[in-house]
A and B are shown apart, each in its own frame.
Chain A
């Protein structure tokens, strides 16, 4: 698999606070990766530097071999880096269909191919039956899925999912895991996931990076991480 994204020596300082300190990270096409860590570990800062919402103080970010360190959000989005925010960021007063349509419009597909694509995406995120409803009527979990649908409809290659299962029922959390895995497997869609839900992470069977106080504390699969003394002390222990 080809390398999709690489972050080198990524550091972000906010005045006195170092939110990310020399973080190294890379992800392949079609790979799913989890980033975990206690509150304040710098997870969202890390994702924000990759999406372009924050500029790193030092370090570099490469996407498909291109240096995107200083590239603005809108151009990264056009390259296929798409972010799901912590609280669902969708268009509340538009219908579900119109939401996904807008994402598809952003890809520059010819107009006759748009509707089929919107339907296909709605099918993937299981919102076909809700397509004419205003988004505000959806449950919290469905809104999360709709936002994932926006990323898919926008032809994302790398999804940055910030707590995608927050506010979901156990069943919804489980299907979210299945969705992310099937997108990676079938559509070769990569994902970097920030999560707190340890069961969700275990079920994903994806490599895990543990951040602590802005640094990479450990890296490995679930069992390795669970056995790691440092991680247990700093995070899993409490």
Chain B
């Protein structure tokens, strides 16, 4: 094994190996997801899109945490904001001439982006970072949950809100997404678009600056980059995506309740991303899909202990595999490849 190869095993290091293979694997995974409705039907095809949207939520956190070094416990708050926005838009659809679901996607993205921009700009300009930022995002989740509970005349409070399934439309053409397979494909397209969008920005100049901020924020500042603007933009993009994913989740699940905004769900997102590997978008996506399905299965088998199992996995990951499964796989590949 050469020196250069050995160096790639460092956790979190952007590895040459993954750079070449990740998009290929990602296209394979997305193609497989697209083929599933041809092979299966029933519950799997009903539930998978929700897990895929959890995958998008996980990628939104990976952008923030893995690429820029900012851990957020507020992603669920944005996800729920998106779901409630979808519900409210569709309920009041009669008032406007356009497709209410399209409007909801645009409004939820705008709302998430605007809130994160405002909060982020003040925090980052004031130099708030690391664990202080984590605490503020934790508060965001709690605030979102409290509003969902408290403003019951709008949100339905603890009873939650029922949301009709969206339909696709283009001028006079209308296509309802009532069948599981039809909405499944819409969500696969959304997942793919999100993945390639995030991949693009993380590899562009923007992403290189983020990596610099993650590694050494003061140095990036001293090189003349407006760090608060980069961090605000990252938080805003992450929040906007989480909101859009939430809007689609709302219309797919046909229901949203305050717990979707809560700290508990936010923590689950962090667990998915930590276990799967935060410095890879694909790992985060798969983490959102696979870990959330496993949690779901576990909760059916052992309702008392499943959170304990997940918690232990999380602790093990943090203690022994800082790069998560993706980091471990990559380390293994580097050893073999060397």
A interface residues with partner B (beta carbon < 8 Å):
51, 73-75, 77-78, 82-83, 89-94, 98, 101-103, 105-106, 111, 132-134, 136-137, 150, 154
B interface residues with partner A (beta carbon < 8 Å):
3-4, 7, 10, 12-14, 205, 208-209, 211-212, 215-216, 218-227
Report whether A92 and B223 are in contact in the complex, using a CB–CB cutoff of 8 Å: no
Per the bound structure, the CA–CA distance linking A133 and B222 in Å amounts to 23
A-B residue pair count with CB separations less than 8 angstroms? 71
Within 8 Å by CB of B224, from A91, A134, A154, lies A154
Which residue, of B10, B212, B218, has the highest number of chain A Cβ atoms within 10 A? B212
CB within 8 Å for A102 and B220 given contacts A91-B215, A93-B12: yes
A123 to chain B, nearest CB (A): 19
Report whether A90 and B216 are in contact in the complex, using a CB–CB cutoff of 8 Å: yes
Report whether A74 and B4 are in contact in the complex, using a CB–CB cutoff of 8 Å: no
Per the bound structure, the CA–CA distance linking A98 and B128 in Å amounts to 27
A72 to chain B, nearest CB (A): 9
Report whether B10 and A91 are in contact in the complex, using a CB–CB cutoff of 8 Å: no
Main secondary structure of the interface of B (DSSP, over half): helix
Within 8 Å by CB of A94, from B4, B215, B224, B227, lies B215
| Residues on the A chain within 8 Å of B216, using CB | 89-92
**In the A-B complex, the 8 residue pairs with the closest CB atoms:** A77-B224, A91-B215, A78-B224, A106-B223, A89-B219, A102-B212, A106-B224, A134-B7
| Residues on the B chain within 8 Å of A73, using CB | 221-222
| Residues on the A chain within 8 Å of B226, using CB | 74
| Residues on the B chain within 8 Å of A90, using CB | 216, 219
CB within 8 Å for A94 and B211 given contacts A134-B10, A137-B7: yes
Per the bound structure, the CA–CA distance linking A74 and B4 in Å amounts to 34
Report whether A93 and B13 are in contact in the complex, using a CB–CB cutoff of 8 Å: yes
| Residues on the B chain within 8 Å of A75, using CB | 224
| Residues on the A chain within 8 Å of B14, using CB | 94, 98
Report whether B223 and A102 are in contact in the complex, using a CB–CB cutoff of 8 Å: yes
